[in-house]
Structure 1
């Protein structure tokens, strides 16, 4: 069962034999516990793919003719798992998959292009020259800095730059944790006991100067359980992805 932040803090304070509160702002200790819950939450989601955090994403276009195929990752994006672009010339939403290329593979392809059908643009960070097609829709993308996405082509007869509205990415984002009594941490109900157990263990250690064996055992059990039961639909084995692509 999911608990809001106040309920989590009250549960932890009770096990610590601390002062009862009706709001996380009622005591310094309650606010400290709430901060530990937030830190624990981000530690948990940073090392896992959480189903609730997967969604469609719009990339942020630079909308700059000097960088016609550049986009930025939105600030809350953890990983892009699939990227498509509307390659229609009449807004009929004909999405085509844009395939990931490693940066050096992308550059090697770029260097072989004829300038008769390509525009030379700079890499956003180092200024490296990149040849991108200007007479067709994109097929590939890469990132040189894990902040910007560069696609390999744009059709100048359709748009002077690639358009944010025509992207369709799917991936994982980081939610915003709110220090509010009624905030419910955005993870599946099966992971809430693990969040509570881990936060409680940390609070015991940091605020009470020691750990509780029962709390530690509970945290270990919950960790083992949630690793195999995060999705509502059973998933097959997937190879890991690294970086934000």
Structure 2
């Protein structure tokens, strides 16, 4: 399917208008999954020509994504991943979990970016970062597209590793997202420790509804303004490993 390759136009604009010398592209994967973390990659690419075929990870076949991710990890100037666990998503709500994962990724870069390009129209990162949001940035911006591919491949690999203990859920194929196999396993076996217990899928599983946790609204009593604040402010200091 034909597509317009991503460019450095947003990075060049930020350099010209703000004086930013180091610009990071940031993208997430796992937002709509039932299981697993939300994962964010921050990638710094400079203004070099990217590997051929770079685009939004969702437009690539799994085989092409994996091959391109291998190229990108050695091509980018710097990149880092940040995760927010299912427990943190349940506790903080998704918006705050995205910020937590993004702060972890940015804090893990060897250099602090002067500006950040976020895919989408919502700035979930906020101060003190200088943020430019770009709708479909994973298709139009080189740094965001690179982050998109790396994040998707790395999170898919993490979810595939869970198959050793949870093969019935099909994590190697669905990466924790909704699927008939995933739903059938949930109905028979209930959620694993890797599932988000505030998600609506539990409403359709009467046998397991008692496990459901309240889903938090952004800024609610247990969200960014409440007991999740310490975890959010700690950012890169809080580790999470898979």
TM above 0.5: no
TM (normalized to structure 1)?
Answer: 0.25
TM (normalized to structure 2)?
Answer: 0.25
Structure showing greater Rg:
1
Give the number of the structure whose residues are more often helix, by fraction.
2
Give the number of the structure whose residues are more often strand, by fraction.
1
